[in-house]
Amino acid sequence: MSAETVRGWQKTYRVIGKDGLLAMGVKHARYDYETKVAAARAVVDGGMSKPEAMTRFGIASATSLKQWCRLYREGGAQALMPKPKGRPKGSGMGAVPPTREEELAERVRKLEAQVAYLKKSIALKAHRRSQTGTKP
């Protein structure tokens, strides 16, 4: 086990205590928008050190705080806003039912394709018969 790992555990213990250390890896902590902004603002604008901010705001992961600070520097508080989760909703309208004219046009197209297929099939059979010289 590396010394860096032990130091990380010690830092986490100082910030969130024994219960937090035991819960590590079980569930990721979720922080609300206000906590993220306050912590990032304290580090970036207020000059607070990251370990101090972790202790003050109860943040268990230095990586999370570093990411929040980077986002805050790049896009301000707006960059820390939660992103919408899940699949985006559609336009709100379902499929528009086709008009009678569109239905008939589609039916004509399908029937024309069917006729063309049958004509081609008949022509191929006639060609095969002429090649083999057999009669139906």
User: For residue 131, how far is the Cα from the chain centroid?
Assistant: 60
Report the chain's mean pLDDT, rounded to a whole number: 85
Ramachandran assignment for 87, one of left (phi > 0), alpha (psi -120 to 50 degrees), beta (any other):
beta
pTM passes above 0.85: no
Single-letter amino acid code for the residue at 83? K
Which tens digits make up the pLDDT trace of 105-136?
A: 999 999 999 999 999 999 999 999 888 876 65
Instruction: Give the Cα separation of 39 and 72 in Å (integer).
Output: 10
Q: What percentage of the chain exceeds 70 in pLDDT? A: 84
Q: Please write the tens of the pLDDT for every residue from 60-89.
A: 778 889 999 999 999 999 999 988 888 877
Provide long-range contacts, Cβ within 8 A and 24+ apart, for 53-59: 54/11, 54/15, 55/14, 55/15, 57/31, 58/15, 58/16, 59/15, 59/29, 59/31, 59/35
- Looking at residue 127, its pLDDT comes to 92
Q: At what angle do helices 33-44 and 50-57 cross, to 10 degrees?
A: 150
Q: Please give the average per-residue pLDDT across 93-103, as a whole number.
A: 86
Q: What element of type H or E holds 44? A: helix 33-44
